[in-house]
Amino acid sequence: MGVGCVSPVCLFLLGIWLNSGWGLAQELQLEPSRTEHVKYAGNSLFVSCKGRNPIDMIWSGPDNVEITQSQGSIRVEASRDLGDGLSGVDLMLRGIKRKDRGRYTCRATVDGLRRETHFELQVFKPITFDQNQKRQFAPEGSDFVVKCDVTGDPPPTVNWRGVTQHLNGNKFDDKSESPGLLIRNVTRADEGTYRCKATQTSKKVSDLQNFNIHLKVQYKPEWQGPAHSEVYGYLAGTANLTCHAEAEPAPRFNWYRGDDLTMPLEPPDYQIDNTRDSMSVLKITSLTEDIFGEFTCRASNQHGSLDHTVTLREGQKPAVPTVRVTSAGSTQLTLEIGTPPSEVSADGYRAQYKTVDAPWPSAHSHQFKPGGPHVITNLQPDTTYQIRVASRNQAGYGDFTASLEHRTAAPTSAKPTGGSQPLVLELLSALIMAALLVL
């Protein structure tokens, strides 16, 4: 059958010959049949090499070294029999690396002749962002470059989106330090999420990936409230000195006494609560005459520090108030609270209350203003409660009164529907009278 056969009959017979597999008997086939595979590093690839009754089939890699291992990231194994009369060897590559790129060749003896076929593997590096740059910190007032270190092959280009719709003008510059975004004169309004968009294009591959970066603006401590305050306490009592400062990062607090700002106060002589990010409380117990005076709270971070002065002054201990229950409902008790005539009026009161069998540490507490009303609510009906009250002034709380006991009222019963009971009685009386007349 010559090459010059172009008649319909000749072409028909040629098709039968090719479809029967006779014409491919001496050829090797790759499945998939591509001569080039393009992959990103980390991808996988499966290629099968088959022929009719091949002998001594082998795969070799880019270094022309035979691939014989049946385990690992690059391995071979016998192809499954699909009933098509073809057999061969499968090549599998998992977790492809850049070093794996190149030509892979399949060789075998078919009908006594040594045959081969091959494909080229192109490996590109995908877009990769530096995960350590997800959170970045810019000092307030500085010119700061938001970093977006991105790698890939082919090298990606970067565009930005930010807290404002358009990152341009004198404020932002994304061309100053590619792939960074320059923010001039950073303010707290610049805090937020910036999106670094990386685009990778070539004749072989293309990709687009976004990376969100949260920018936090740092600033030195700022006092919340006046720079100087006064606190009162009474002898043998307790005083809490508080300072409140906002900063980023959260400030460190130290307390000093008097003019000595070199030796911070420390436990166990003083109790200092720094558990909240923006507040510090110096608690002084068992006040003595020599403890009154000035204390300084210093808030600081790497961007600066501020001092806040608190003057502890001696005040008068609040007197024990008078208290009595004026009325009792099923779920509430009304109190009358007063201050002895010889004492200065209080700024407020604290009432504690509990059931008789409960301990005082578990008692409920309620704050009252001087003028009232002084009503304790949400109580249980027909239950005895113990109550005690303490007064408060600028020096703090005084002693509690002796506890008094009072019982809430029993629950009220439901009242009958208006008008129904008299009507029933009238009907009953009429029936009785009628019966007596009959008799």
Residue 226: CB atoms within 10 Å: 9
Residue 385's nearest CA partner among 361, 364, 412 is 364
Q: Which of 100, 125, 150 is the last residue of a domain?
A: 125
For residue 413, tell me if it sits in a domain. Answer: no
For residue 424, tell me if it sits in a domain. Answer: no
What's the confidence (pLDDT) of residue 419?
Answer: 46
Q: Both 153 and 215 in a single domain?
A: yes
For residue 360, tell me if it sits in a domain. Answer: yes
Alpha carbons 228 and 104: distance in angstroms, whole number: 80
Q: Both 61 and 120 in a single domain?
A: yes
Q: Both 292 and 342 in a single domain?
A: no
For strands 192-201 and 252-257, give the pairing.
unpaired
Are 251 and 276 spatial neighbours (Cβ–Cβ below 8 Å)? no
What's the confidence (pLDDT) of residue 287?
Answer: 94
For residue 438, tell me if it sits in a domain. Answer: no
Q: Which of 79, 97, 125 is the last residue of a domain?
A: 125
Q: Both 215 and 176 in a single domain?
A: yes
b/e burial code for range 271-296 (CB count within 10 A of at least 16 → b): ebeeeeebbbbbebeebeeeebeebb
The CATH number linked to 195 is: 2.60.40.10
For residue 13, tell me if it sits in a domain. Answer: no
What's the confidence (pLDDT) of residue 24?
Answer: 43
What's the confidence (pLDDT) of residue 92?
Answer: 97
First-last CA distance in the chain = 140
Q: For the chain, what is the domain count? A: 4
Q: Both 96 and 136 in a single domain?
A: no
Q: Both 103 and 83 in a single domain?
A: yes
Residues 6+ apart with CB under 8 A from 339: 319, 321, 322, 345, 346, 391
For residue 231, tell me if it sits in a domain. Answer: yes
Alpha carbons 321 and 347: distance in angstroms, whole number: 12
For residue 429, tell me if it sits in a domain. Answer: no
Mean pLDDT, 10 residues at a time, the chain of 439 residues: 50 46 65 94 96 95 94 94 90 96 96 95 96 97 94 92 72 75 93 94 92 96 84 94 95 94 91 91 94 96 95 94 95 92 83 96 95 93 97 93 96 57 53 53
Q: Which of 314, 348, 365 is the last residue of a domain?
A: 314
Alpha carbons 214 and 192: distance in angstroms, whole number: 6
Q: Both 43 and 119 in a single domain?
A: yes
Q: Both 372 and 310 in a single domain?
A: no
What's the confidence (pLDDT) of residue 275?
Answer: 87
Domain containing 156 equals 130-220
For residue 350, tell me if it sits in a domain. Answer: yes
Tell me what the pLDDT averaged over the chain comes to.
87
Q: Both 229 and 305 in a single domain?
A: yes
Residue 24: CB atoms within 10 Å: 16
Q: Both 307 and 336 in a single domain?
A: no
Q: 3-state SS of the chain? A: CCCCCCCHHHHHHHHHHHHCCHHHCCCCEEECCCCEEEEECCCCEEEEEEECCCEEEEEECCCCCEECCCCCCEEEEECCCCCCCCEEEEEEECCCCHHHCEEEEEEEEECCEEEEEEEEEEEEEEEEECHHHCEEEEECCCCEEECCCEEEECCCEEEEECCCCCCCCCCEEEEEECCEEEECCCCHHHCEEEEEEEEEECCCCEEEEEEEEEEEEEEEEEECCCCEEEEEECCCCCEEEEEEEEEECCCEEEEEECCCCCCCCCCCCCEEEEEECCEEEEEECCCCHHHCEEEEEEEEECCEEEEEEEEEEECCCCCCCEEEEEEECCCCEEEEEECCCCCCCCCEEEEEEEECCCCHHHCEEEEECCCCCEEECCCCCCCEEEEEEEEEECCEECCCCCCEEEECCCCCCCCCCCCHHHHHHHHHHHHHHHHHHHC
Q: Both 242 and 301 in a single domain?
A: yes
Q: Both 273 and 349 in a single domain?
A: no
